[in-house]
Structure 1
Amino acid sequence: MYSKYLSQVLCLLLLLLAWYAQALDKAPSIFYPLPTQAQGKVFVAQNLFLGDEGGIWIHDVHGKVVFFDGQNILPRRGSVLAQDSGHIAYFDNAFWSYVENEVYRTYPAQHRELVFSLTAGSVIKNIGASNGFIWLTDDAHFYTYNIQTKRIDTYPLSDMYQFNQVSQLTINDAKFLLSKWVLATNAGVYLSDGESFSHVLSSKKHFIEKLYFSSKNRELIVGTLNGALIIDIKNPNSQHPKRIGYSHVLSLAETDNEYWVGTEDGLFVYSFLTNNVVKLESNDQDSNGLPGNQIYSLVNDLQGGIWIATDKGIRYFSLFGFRFERNQQPQLIHNQIKKIIPRLDKKGYWVLTNQGLYQFDSNWNKIKLLFNLPINDFVQLSNTSLWLATHEGLVVYNLETEAEESSHLPFNLRTAGILHLTLDNNGLLWGANENQLWSYDVGANTLTNYGIDWFVDAFLPAKVTLLKATQRGLFIGTDHGVYTLNQGKIVFRRPTSGYGRSVNILEGSNGDIWFASSYGLFNLSHDRNEFNSIPLAEDNISPKCLAESQEGIWLTSSNGISLYNRQGDIKKHYAAPHGLIHNEFQSGVCTSSIIDNKAWLLSGSRFGLLRVSPSKLVTATPPNTSIIFSQISIDHTPVMIGRSRFNPLELKYGSSISFLFGSLPESRTQSLEFRIEGDGQWQPLEGSQLTLDHLLPGDYRILVRDHTQYPQNSTMNSLSFVVAKPWYLSSWAILFYSIIVLGCVAVASLWRSHWVAKANRELKSQVALKTEQLRHQSKIVLTNNHQLRKQLQIRHVFVEQMLDSISPTLDQLIYRTQLNQLGRLERLAQKVKRELTLLRNVRSDKASTQQIYDLSIILNSSIDSWRDEFDKAEITLVVNNELQQSYIESESFNFDLIFNTLLSDAVNRLYRNQSLQIHCYERERRLFVVIIDSGDQMMNSSVDGSTSGFEQEELHQLMRSSGGEIHIFSSSERNLTELSWPSVDLLTEESEAIELEDAAEKVTIDPLEKEWLKKVELLIQQYYSDPEFSTSSAAKLLFVSERSLQRRFKAVTGKTFKEYLNEVRLEKACQRLLAGEKISQVAFDSGFNDPSYFSQRFKHHFGLSPTQFIDDNE
């Protein structure tokens, strides 16, 4: 019996040892901290909740709740809950909390609302959420609240005490599975059955902290003080459930292939594909490690990652990172990797570190240190030898004898320090130190030294950074660019100087040469001798190393790993937070190999050696990045955090709305762009915040996505909101405005019609008045025109009669001259003088001097001019002229106007066959002209009392100005008009002699002056078109002074030289304008520089502008 028990104990111990060994399998992992850690802020969360549309809600140990969107912690101060609470539940983007017996619901950035209350006296102890239910517990009951139906069910806890012996039953967690409730208590797990509960035997009487139900595997994960138990719900009372971990379970989560168990002693992952348990560990001191052992909360973000809350902060783990295998052996972690190449026998790798050269097998299990001394570079020439570059010279190591064989080498190679080595296809070994280059023919044992003079002087001092032998020759990488050596000539490729220090060179399978430098990536095509710049995954990142596989060209950089096709197009990019760390790769340390029929890509990292399968990495799809509306503010006041229930939002007209965006899991380098639905073009978003102002009323939908080179692969999110119409833009307000506008239009129309009607009446009366005035004025104008024509005719007749009277006198003068009758000749000459004097006095310039006129001749001239008019009217004109000497004296000549007016009036008043009598006689030294007719009475001949267009008062005024008097006697039988003037004698001989002497005093010009004036006029005719021609230039041409010329010209012509020159220029311009030339050309040809000044002078001289002058002549 004793031996039986002993064997059972031994079996149990073996099982425990095997289980512990299984549980203690460790996998190095990368955990990403929150960005706030770099700011010195550490969030210790007791619970993590996944936001409905992304983001993580953090419930910290102080009871505060904040939201993390990948970049920001919101709110920046305080909590989204009005009151801090140690126990909360999260469901449908709302937080449920309790105070005594009251249950509250709080949407982020909103006020909390009371949902329901338990019976008075109840004190809630715990709260949680599961499958649309809110569960609560107090000391005696378990309560459930259906959120949709708002039904509350109560379950008594008294029946559960019969299955245990605890004094106080505590419910730590609860899950609603299918149609039953499962409770985790301090005395095991219980399953509801109606209103009672039954005990799950497989849970025994353990303290149960957490529950998790896998709907995919139909398994219940139960967290105990000694690990997690996996219970099959089809057989819940099984006595041998699977166990994960061995410590107090604090949190549970599930991914596609694993269960994650957080305990007080670390994080365990159970694969239900292999049934293996792995403990995830990392360096606790590193920023990408997993600090602390207590895992308070685990949340699957459903995007290929797990959020982990520990007692020392929050971390993110990417499931995609399992594809990157990390070898963290001490030899690789604590020493910097300098070079790695596959062995020629395809059985492992050569790894060079700063400690020495290691040999690894294909599984990285067997490690052998070949040289424990500093080595700069190495090459493997064959399966039996390694050539090592050291500071003391070149060392040849035999792999079979494990001994050095360097004695046959030239002395310079054995003693001079060497930094870089490479081997070409012709068996030449190339080497270099910082500034010297040489080649060594291994077969012929000959050394060729290329010296140091091949560096470009402009870049001195310089040093070699790497050597690469290719089919196109040797490429020499330096700190300022790339040199090539081909056919014994070293040439500097100047286009490479802009890329900085050469880091790595790769010869592709198609013959292209790829170059990784400090400032960028470029290649040299196999068919062209041109360097082509290759775009990087992001700007301002640093290339590290190049490798080639069947999938393409791989580039490690400070931002991750990129895959290019052989044409230089980027196809894939892998970076943090998907298993890689920024700035982890070593420069020039990478290779690709095929060992045991498996292709691998290896790269040196700050955390050891990273290995990945290129084919698996290419076919895997990195997790998508979700765009989150992390905070929405209206008028700078937050109204929504984490995208709560209010959808769509409604804001007042005139309010501003701000959106704060986040993105997970990639957040640090996220570039966003947005557009409003209806706008065709996407706009880049600078930063992570967008503010919209001055929006018109209506429905809006804003779309935001991450900006990538491939928009079809980008993720997008949207949010709708409504800008409400203000009261003054509502329908009834618009109707009210319309009524007001129509009323104003109607009032304005009525007022305008009234005003227009009044204006029309006034205008009509004015038009009628003006029409009547114009009609009357037209009659006057016609009459005046007729009078003026008669006046002109009278003067012509007067002149003719004077000439007729002079002509006989001249004939007699000639005759008497022939008869030598001198006395008679003198009298005839005196008579001619008088008649000429009378003729000279006939003018109407209204001068103030007294003139002598012959009244008889003036009257006869007037009668002769009107005789045809009287004949046409069949009116008899009877003239009785008794005047012999009819000379009168007057200041102005207006007798023709007086006689014209009276005769015109008579023609209008008299009828056919009536007669007009004119009697002329002299009485008492007055000359009388009496006009008698029997026509209409003169006072009634016109409505306005005028005589032939003149007022009778005006006729009296004309008589007074002529020095005479007028008397009008008018009756119905006869009209009599009497005109009289004082008679004067002829001029005396003395006055005549004085006048003749005055006439003889006319100015005469000396013949010499005439000759000089003619010369000046010719000079003006020659130079008038020259704008520079002036008084000074004319004086120079005449060889006189300017002052002398001015004085002499003024004395001869009475004008200044400049006035005469301007008159000549304007006369010439007038002739040219009449000839049809352009105004501007005429101005320049006439001696004027400025056409506007020419127009001004032309108008001043002629009274018309040049344009008006041309129009008038056309």
Structure 2
Amino acid sequence: MKGKNDYYKPLFWILGFLSLLLAQGTQALDKAPSIFYPLPAQAQGKIFAAQNLFLGEEGGIWIHDVHGKVVFFDGKSTLPRRGSVLSQESENIVYLNNAFWTFIDNELYRTYPAQDRELIFSLTPGVIIKKIGSSGVFIWLADNTHFYTYNTQTHELVTYSFKEMYQFNHASRMIVNDAKFVLSKWVLATNAGVYLSEDESFSHVLSSDKHFIEKIYFSDKRRELVIGTLNGALIIDVENLKRKKKLVGESHVLSITETDQEYWIGTDDGLFLYSFLTDEIIKLESNDRNTNGLPGNKIYSLVNDLQGGIWIATNKGVRYFSLFGQKFKRHSSALFDNNPMTKIVTRSDNKGYWFLTRQGLYQVDAEDWQEPKLIFPGEVHDFAQIDDHSLWIATHTGIVIYHLQTKKMIETSMLPLKLRSNDTKHLEFDHEGLLWGATGNHLWSYRLADNSLTDFGSEWFVDAFLPAKIIKLKSTRRGVFIGTNHGVYLFDKGKIVFLRATSHYGQNIDIFESTNGDVWFASAYGVFVLAHDRSDIRSIDMVEENISPKCLTETGNGIWLTSSQGISLYNPMGEMVKHFGDPHGLMNNEFKSGVCESSIINSQQQLLLGSRFGLVTAWSSELSVATPPNTNIIFSQVNVDHIPVMFGRGRFQTLELKYGSSISFLFGALPESRALSLEYRIAGYKEWQRLESTQLTLDHLLPGHYRLLVRNYSPHPQNSMINSLSFIVENPWYWSSWAIVLYLCLSIGLIAFASWWRSRWVTKVNRKLKAKVALKTDQLRHQSKIVLVNNQQLRKQLQIRHILVEQMLDSITPTLNQLIYRSQLQQLARLESLALKVKCELALLRNVRNDKTSTQLLYDLSIILNSCVDGWREEFAKANISLAVNNELKQAYIESAHFNLDIIFNTLLSDAVKRLYRNQELQIHCYERDKRLFIVMIDCGDQVQSINSDKRISGFELEEMQLLVQRSGGEIHIFSSPERNLVELSWPSVELVSDAPEMIIVEEHSDDKFIDITEKEWLKKVEKLVHNYYSDPEFSTSSAAKLLFVSERSLQRRFKAVTNKTFKEYLNEIRLEKACQCLLAGGKVAQVAFDCGFNDPSYFSQRFKHHFGLSPTQFVDDNE
């Protein structure tokens, strides 16, 4: 066993070589164009300026930006979309053991994503921590005077002093830039050289002098130390100190990482690679600086995701580089700058290629890509090589021939004029020695042996697809295929036949014949094959639906198809074997249509693929056996009741959910996530369920232990990676043991309570019954009050009818006496007239009824009025109101189809009793003018409202009063002012045999009963106000107080003293009594509710039932 000193003594020798950095010279670098994939958020205009990148335990990248925020990238989304996964932002953060470590003054904190931070330890008060980092299982801290290490496994804290370090240099402040635990010792990179730990202090490595050291990286696998300085990175072999040291880069080193084959060095001047195999230094550059480039020269952080990729943080965003993508070599040359290729053909000598570009036709040697030779400058549409001697070139001025041996143009005067002078678009040689070409849309063939030209014209196009255009010519063993913008034609045995089934695939892009004779077609809407032994086409499935195929070629490994999503390998049966695309070295939509080729270079088959950014090459045999890195499914975010509780699988402990909670999972995948399709199942269930999106929500879970399994959907599920997460749904509180004990205690308590409650219940029931009886009694009292009022009105009407009959009988008595007298005198002539008069008067008596027919009958208006006045004299006398009748009519007859005169007079007299005050007088004048009978009522009481006013008289609308008068054949006019009221009624008079008038003597009665005049007048004023405004829903105690110019409290107190009830109770009684009268008059329940001041018919029904004991509907039904 070696002692500890045997391990760290070589470090002094290693660090001594830092002096080489002072004498460095320029380096010979190779530059390789590469593809750097941006985050998807960049397409939305977001740029993450990251200062640190950390690799998640299960995949994904933690991004610590320059603002101190931390977000998680899962391959599809950046979480959270706003804010940070940490509750407090910090500029100094390290990631270790699924947690973030940071400090505040003298305290070290640990924070798990979406959790609260926890204090780990506190240093001596007054200490201010300046730097934090990690190495292995250690967290290290540094202030101005000490260096601290914390072992996250043993929780041991060790302190080292900087006292000796200040003795070795004259720096005013010691700054620790980086620290690594190497061979049982701590190596510190500072602003004043390198220091090595000894016991509880540090010793200075003299050979490092006072140079600024930024980074230290130790490779456990290669046993090498990489030291980053302001002038590059020095690579030192720990076990072989005599080995030559390698200096990478010439600028400030900011980050270092390692892959299986290279060191990656990030500097402020770009990204450098040191290859372990070739010992070469390569500077990576981008050939697409807009979208897939590497913006910015400063490489702040490098992370190897251990899945075949490197994450790069620059001053202008975060990029991803695929190590697998190094299988695709990109060639940068001046030939490809702003000069896109349109065709690649392998030379017949297999030593190079023909490249057709916008600038002309080039010859390129396979061993020297950087020096292409221009064969023919200018615009070239197509070319074809017949043999090893000549190259036929199609231009806009005709066909030219280039001799490959002499490298000169050949005279073309022997060619037909049409070939020498017309614009030729396409050229193709077939197996019979014919040269096929297209001039515009005219197809022709030229036989070199006899110099004969055959012109097929353009009439062979199907008329239904005109206008048409020739896109591609391809000679095969089955004939010449002609690709157009609407399908494919075949020339065979002297005929051109349209393959109608190809029209469904749209414009033809490329045609290729495989070694077994099958012809493959790439069209705008898909790929299909015409087998050598069949006449029908067969569709070929692509890696995704709705993508565009680009080009077809073949190697010994199968058929290669480039598309808008990369390159795919198919076997001869048309089954896809491999696919390579974004993000494994290729980009979407980068390949050009019809630009691809395969060749054999040094006994290896090579693929040449035309790209928008130049040329991409790859070895067919290497790709055919290569497997892209596996895609790992990541639990990006877990929400419980829509609250994030986990980001990036930060903690591996089992989640615990309360019963009834919902849990949702957001999934991601790296490195490939653009075509992510998932399926899941719960452990214990056999069937996998497809997940249409990347989010899964589980609700209404029963208590128990659950384990969610997720994998990427694949036709070969045995090759899919499975990830899982366990969680527990806790028992609800009512299933717990303490709840059961509580149930037992409650049961005992309920039994004890039941006996006590029963006695209380009997008492309570008795009180309720008593209250119900009291309520029912009150309701019956209100009903009886309404019935008494209605009965009083009916009695009044019946009384008036009796009086009317009596007065009419009295009027008939004199006539009967004369009849008897004349019969005794035997005056027969006079008897007849008397009998007719009696008959007429009896007819008048018979007409006094509610006749609902439309027959016009005669009525004595004077008798009816006198009867009504006689019926109301007693009421007027009780109210101490004088009633003066001036009846100038003796016998006043009117004609009416309806007898309602008594109702009219009753209503007016009833209203007068209510409006007039004590000692006032009601005057009634009856007279005849211009054959009309007039009855005029004059008083000085409260003002009568106009016909159009929404008020009532004795329960009837004034409009209803006008309608009653009109039905009787008369007219009514009301003239009202504050001083006097005048109601004028008139009817047309009817002539009838009259006799001696009967005088009606109106007796006046007086009531000597004394009433408090002041309170009576005030109460009548309030009652008048209520009768005027009760139909207004907004009318209330406060409204009445404002109209009476008193306070609400004063109104309540005075009204209570006079009436022994509150104003609100009185208002509700008036509204309900009016509603009862309206219902008796035939009104609808809803309309009556609104007319009587109720906003809600249901509330009206509730109050009506509470007041009268039955609902309005029942009240109407009972009174029908």
- Note if contact 1:202-1:240 (Cα within 8 Å) is conserved in structure 2: no
Query: For residue 253 of structure 1, what is the aligned residue in structure 2?
Result: 257
Matched, 1:707 2:713: yes
Amino acid at match of 2:689: Q
CA positional deviation for 1:72: 1.0
For structure 2, the 5+ residue unaligned runs are 1-19, 752-1120
Cα distance in 1 for partners of 2:387, 2:244 equals: 58
Q: 1:618 aligns with which of 620, 624, 628?
A: 624
Is it true that 1:481 corresponds to 2:487 in the alignment? Answer: yes
Distance 1:739 1:501, change over 3 A: farther
Q: Which residue of 1 aligns with 2:93?
A: 88
What SS class does the counterpart of residue 622 from structure 2 fall into? helix
Bigger-Rg structure (1/2): 1
Instruction: Describe how 1:173-188 pairs up with structure 2 within 5 A.
Output: 173-188=178-193
Contact 1:600 1:612 in 2 (8 A): yes
1:305 is aligned, of 309, 312, 319, to 309
8 Å contact kept, 1:306–1:319: yes
Matches within 5 A, 1:273-672: 273-283=277-287, 285-363=289-367, 364-401=369-406, 402-672=408-678
Instruction: Note the C-alpha offset of 1:732.
Output: 6.2
Question: How far did 1:233 drift?
Answer: 2.9
Letter of the aligned partner of 2:27 in structure 1?
Answer: Y
- Taking the aligned partners of 1:648 and 1:655, their CA distance within structure 2 comes to 16
Shift of 1:184: 1.0
**Partner residue in 1 for 2:51:** 46
Given that 1:397 and 1:405 are in contact with CA atoms closer than 8 Å, whether structure 2 keeps it comes out as no
Is the counterpart of residue 155 in structure 1 residue 160 in structure 2?
yes
Does the Cα contact within 8 Å between 1:306 and 1:317 map onto a contact in 2?
Answer: yes
Change in Cα spacing, 1:513 to 1:735, as seen in structure 2 (3 Å) is farther
Q: Is the CA contact (8 Å cut-off) linking 1:438 and 1:449 kept in structure 2?
A: yes
Q: Residues 1061-1091 of structure 1, C-alpha deviation per residue, up to 9 Å, x if partnerless?
A: xxxxxxxxxxxxxxxxxxxxxxxxxxxxxxx
Letter in 2 for 1:606: R
Query: Residues of 1 paired with 2:529 and 2:127: CA distance?
Result: 76
Contact 2:288 2:613 in 1 (8 A): no
Instruction: Tell me, yes or no, if the aligned pair for 2:398 and 2:424 is still in contact at 8 Å.
Output: yes
Distance 1:619 1:240 in 2: 37
Q: CA deviation at 1:105?
A: 0.7
Task: String of CA shifts for 1:568-602, please: whole Å, max 9, x gaps.
Answer: 11000000111101000000010111133231110
Residues in 1 aligned to 2:239 and 2:378: alpha-carbon distance in whole angstroms: 64
Question: How many Å separate the matches in 1 of 2:593 and 2:62?
Answer: 39
Mapped contact 1:503–1:588 kept (Cα < 8 A): yes
Q: Label 1:459 to 1:731 Cα distance change in 2 as closer, same or farther (>3 A).
A: farther
The alpha carbon displacement at 1:241 in A equals 3.3
- Aligned pairs for 1:115-134 within 5 A: 115-134=120-139
- Secondary structure of residue in 2 paired with 1:365: strand
Whether the 8 Å CA contact 1:653–1:697 is kept in 2: the answer is: yes
Q: Does 1:264 align with 2:271?
A: no
| DSSP-derived class of the 1:450 partner | strand
1:413 shift after superposition: 1.1
Q: How does 1:27-38 map to 2 (within 5 A)?
A: 27-38=32-43
Seq. identity, % = 64
Give the equivalent residue in structure 1 for 2:724. 718
Query: 1:201·1:239 contact (CA, 8 Å) conserved in 2?
Result: no
Q: Is the 8 A contact 2:161 2:202 kept in 1?
A: no
Kindly indicate whether residue 24 of structure 2 is the aligned counterpart of residue 20 of structure 1.
no
Look up the match of 1:675: 681
2:702 corresponds to 1:696: yes
1:210 aligned partner: 215
Please tell me whether the aligned partners of residues 525 and 548 of structure 2 are also in contact (alpha carbons under 8 angstroms).
yes
Say whether residues 1:57 and 2:59 are aligned partners.
no
Give the whole-Å Cα distance in 2 for the aligned partners of 1:104 and 1:718.
29
- Displacement after TM superposition at 1:742 (Å): 14
Asked whether the 8 Å contact 1:299–1:306 carries over to 2, the reply is yes
Q: 1:74 aligns with which of 79, 83, 101?
A: 79
Contact 1:32 1:289 in 2 (8 A): yes
Q: 1:598 to 1:426 in 2, by over 3 A?
A: same
Task: Say if 2:227 is the partner of 1:222.
Answer: yes
Q: In structure 2, how many angstroms separate the alpha carbons of the residues matched to 1:467 and 1:275?
A: 48
Structure 1 residues 442 and 153: CA distance shift in structure 2, 3 A: same
Counterparts of 2:734 and 2:287, CA distance in 1: 66
Alignment of 1:947-986 (within 5 A): none
Provide the rounded CA distance (Å) in 2 between the counterparts of 1:567 and 1:202.
68
Q: Does 1:244 align with 2:248?
A: yes
Identify if the C-alpha distance between structure 1 residues 680 and 333 changes in structure 2 by more than 3 Å, giving closer, same or farther.
farther
TM-superposed deviation, 1:739: 12
Label 1:508 to 1:202 Cα distance change in 2 as closer, same or farther (>3 A). farther
Shift of 1:434: 4.2
Structure 1 unaligned residues grouped into runs of 5+? 1-11, 746-1114
Deviation at 1:743, TM superposition (A): 14
The amino acid of 1:584's aligned partner reads E
Structure 2 vs 1, CA of residues 284 and 545 (structure 1 numbering), >3 Å: closer, same or farther?
closer
Task: Write the deviation string for residues 151-203 of structure 1: whole angstroms up to 9, x where unpaired.
Answer: 11101111223433323221111112242211111122222232232334554
Q: Aligned equivalents of 1:64 and 1:447: distance in 2?
A: 75
**Paired residues of 1:434 and 1:465 also in contact (CA < 8 A):** no
Partners in 2 of 1:742 and 1:508 — Cα distance?
90
Distance 1:194 1:355, change over 3 A: same
1:144 and 2:149 matched: yes
Is contact 1:202–1:239 with CA below 8 Å preserved after alignment?
Answer: no
Cα distance between partner residues in 1 of 2:747 and 2:170: 87
Query: Alignment partner of 1:209: what SS?
Result: strand
| Contact residue 633 and residue 640 of structure 1 kept, 8 A | yes
Alpha-carbon distance in 1 for matches of 2:243, 2:459: 84
CA displacement 1:47-96 (0-9 Å, x = unmatched): 10001111111111111111111111111111122222111111011111
* Shift in Å, 1:629: 0.6
Match of 1:462, SS state, is coil
Aligned equivalent of 1:191: 196
In the alignment, the residues of structure 2 paired with residue 85 and residue 222 of structure 1 have an alpha-carbon distance, to the nearest angstrom, of: 27
The Cα offsets for residues 611-641 of structure 1, whole Å up to 9 and x where unpaired, read as 1000111222211111111110000000001
- TM-score (ref. length: structure 2): 0.63
Aligned to 2:676, the other structure's residue is in SS state: coil
Letter of the 2:70 partner, please give it: V
Q: Residue 20 of structure 1: SS of its match in structure 2?
A: coil
Distance 2:59 2:392 in 1: 56
Closer/same/farther in 2, CA of residues 552 and 119 from structure 1, 3 Å limit: same
